[in-house]
Structure 1
Amino acid sequence: MQVGNSRGFTQRWRYGTPTWRHVSEGGFRAQRYAVTAVPKATAKAFVQRHHFLSGWPADLQRPYGLLDQEAPLGAGDLAVEGLPLVGILVLVQPHEPRVLEGGFPHLEFYRESAEIARLVLSASVPSDGDSEQ
């Protein structure tokens, strides 16, 4: 997970220990990465390793992984489809329809909507990796 502050730094976590990276490191190239659905067990292991809240959301989860297509697979790395797993996005069903009332009242609850429960990037992803379109 990344948390910003007013000095231009972003925070990353690994095994409960924070690290800081300056946003000037930037350089995220979307072409380097692929996104795919990943098994829940793999996503859970990644979250436990890289997120300050190592717990796993209890709701129905849909985990997606960010795969680095250019980095070599290192010892101890989690992998999906033979590529290093460097990020996880976990979507869950909203707890109640009111979460849609403000911005998305036209969406059908449970069928067309989801909340982000976890967005986690490893330290290898450039500091602007979670803000790219």
Structure 2
Amino acid sequence: AIKDAGVDIVSTANNHSLDKREKGLLTSLTNLDQLGIPSVGTYSSAEDQQTLTIMEKNGIKVAYLSYTYGTNGMPIPEGKDYLVNLINKEAMKNEIHRAREAADLTVMSIHWGNEYQRFPTEEQEELAQFLVDE
């Protein structure tokens, strides 16, 4: 259905990324891959995590990045930090800089916020400014 709806890419880093543990995350990635829909934010290997997702349209290269604030307390399996991108300024800075070298534009998808809160927190505003500055 998502392919038929015209979805071209999916940001998968969110607080539900590990709801069905590693197996569920990997199944989601496999299903998207079988549909030919790229995803960003969760990965099946450290190598995949280090590979930028870049899509090109009309000669314009767009890099897509994705991070989340957490996984609802679901632990990331030991030694598999690559499974989901958690908000981390240094990691984000490095990836933004790599994306700027490889693409014309960079899109950053951040899964954050406090449920039912309509306005950003001071911390979110500071992080948003940090990302724009990078």
TM class by smaller structure = under 0.3
Give the TM-score of the pair, scaled to structure 1.
0.25
Q: Which has the higher strand share?
A: 1
The structure whose residues are more often helix, as a share, is 2
